[in-house]
Amino acid sequence: MSEDSFSVKAMTRLTGLNEHTLRAWERRYGAVTPKRGENGRRVYSRLDVERLRNIAALVERGFAIGRIAKLPDLDLAQLLAENLQLDQASSPRTKQQSLSNPEVAQVQSQLDKIQEALLRYDLTTIQSTLTESRYIMGARSFVLNLISPLMESVGWMTLSGRTTIGHEHALSAIVRAHLSIMMLEIPRRISDKNDEELNFAVTTMEGNFHEIGILIASVLCSLRGITNYFLGPNMPVVALAEAVLAFKSKYVVVGLNALPPGTLPVSEQAYLLDLDKKLPTFCEIWVGGPIIDLNGAKLSHKIRYLKTLHEFDDILKNMQA
């Protein structure tokens, strides 16, 4: 099976659907049409994975599977983008931060203001709004309740065609600057004998230049007083292993994104398997992003998948207890 082909078992892990639902959506509704492998079993593509994820997300939001199953991919993305703003105001991620109703309304107002300014390419308004929010909201709420949902929302807006790559890159440049400033402003923990217990190296895999998520992860570590080394994006396995050994980092956080086939020089599976071979034995691998099917391969290192940055922050908090 190729690196861009997935079995039924892999699809249930990657999409969150059980096998019965997967079969029903295929046969009864025609949501996807998998190919057949040499052994006659169904084989799915990366595009199938993304399509089913979008359909599942819309079904969770109340859409009937019979209504959306055969919609084009672009229409599915558009529907999901249109429903994302409502999610941001009422989602469990916001509730986890114990925001009051006025605070939720304020965050949503800032999100709307930034998105509207982005559509006009009004970068001055975006800059001033983020600066104001950063000091009013506080660092942790700023990155978790504003920046994270903002980048997610704009990602969907770009996918649906409402904004362009140019819009997304312009916003990312401003957000990256704010996060970099925060990393410099937060007092860094002085190394002590406990560093080996709570010491993180943070990066993305080779070929992945999306660094907003790992910047936020590094900021969250610093806010918890946890030693961390932000290594930037696009880190080859050998270089990452060398850095981890030098820093004696027990935890290696690798950001992954659902990128189009052929974007990366190596697959996510191959990268993680190679990393498992080259990391020091004392490390754990933490993966931020989609669950990667390793085709039954057994890793010598413990691996943990992080679904959200809120989950990452909660784990850091519990580790300090």
pLDDT tens digits along 27-54: 989 999 998 888 888 899 888 888 888 8
Handedness of CA 203, 204, 208, 211 (dihedral sign): negative
Cα gap 101→149, rounded to integer Å: 17
The pLDDT assigned to 18 comes to 84
Cα gap 248→199, rounded to integer Å: 7
Secondary structure, 3-state, 280-302: CCCCEEEEECCCCCCCCCCCCCE
E strands, 17-150, are 35-36, 42-45
Confidence class for position 159, pLDDT limits 50, 70, 90: low
Q: Which of 14-28, 35-49, 85-99, 150-164 has the lowest mean pLDDT?
A: 85-99
More confident position, 9 or 62 = 9
Confidence class for position 196, pLDDT limits 50, 70, 90: low
Contact assessment for residue 119 and residue 163, using Cβ atoms and an 8 Å cutoff: yes
User: What mean pLDDT value characterizes the chain?
Assistant: 84
Cα gap 191→248, rounded to integer Å: 12
pLDDT tens digits along 110-130: 998 999 999 999 999 999 999
Longest dimension (CA), the chain: 60
Structural domains in the chain plus CATH codes: 5-71 (1.10.1660.10), 75-185 (no CATH), 199-320 (3.40.50.280)
More confident position, 20 or 192 = 20
Confidence class for position 93, pLDDT limits 50, 70, 90: very low
Q: What is the pTM of this model?
A: 0.71
The pLDDT assigned to 102 comes to 64
The pLDDT assigned to 264 comes to 76
The pLDDT assigned to 86 comes to 47
Q: Which of 124-133, 147-156, 288-297, 309-318 has the lowest mean pLDDT?
A: 288-297
Share of the chain above pLDDT 90, in %: 45
Cα gap 256→213, rounded to integer Å: 9
Query: Residue 274 is which amino acid?
Result: D
Contact assessment for residue 214 and residue 233, using Cβ atoms and an 8 Å cutoff: yes
More confident position, 237 or 197 = 237
> What's the whole-number mean pLDDT along residues 197-203?
92
pLDDT tens digits along 227-281: 999 999 999 999 999 999 999 999 999 998 766 556 678 888 889 999 999 999 9
The pLDDT assigned to 263 comes to 67
> What's the whole-number mean pLDDT along residues 151-161?
77
Does the pLDDT at position 90 exceed 50? no
Q: Give the relative orientation of helices 165-185 and 148-160 as an angle to the nearest 10 degrees.
A: 170
In sequence order, the β-bridge partners of residue 227 are 199
Residue 172: closest CA among 217, 130, 223: 130
Does the pLDDT at position 195 exceed 80? no
Cα gap 118→290, rounded to integer Å: 27
Ramachandran angles phi, psi of 308, nearest 5°: -140, 165
Cα gap 261→3, rounded to integer Å: 9
Does the pLDDT at position 204 exceed 90? yes
CA distances from 286 to 122, 143, 230, 299 (A): 37, 20, 14, 13
The pLDDT assigned to 95 comes to 41
Tokens of 214: 């790992």
Which residues lie below 8 Å from residue 65, measured CB to CB, with a gap of 6+?
A: 25, 29, 31, 55, 59
The pLDDT assigned to 8 comes to 87
Cα gap 308→288, rounded to integer Å: 7
Contact assessment for residue 283 and residue 250, using Cβ atoms and an 8 Å cutoff: yes
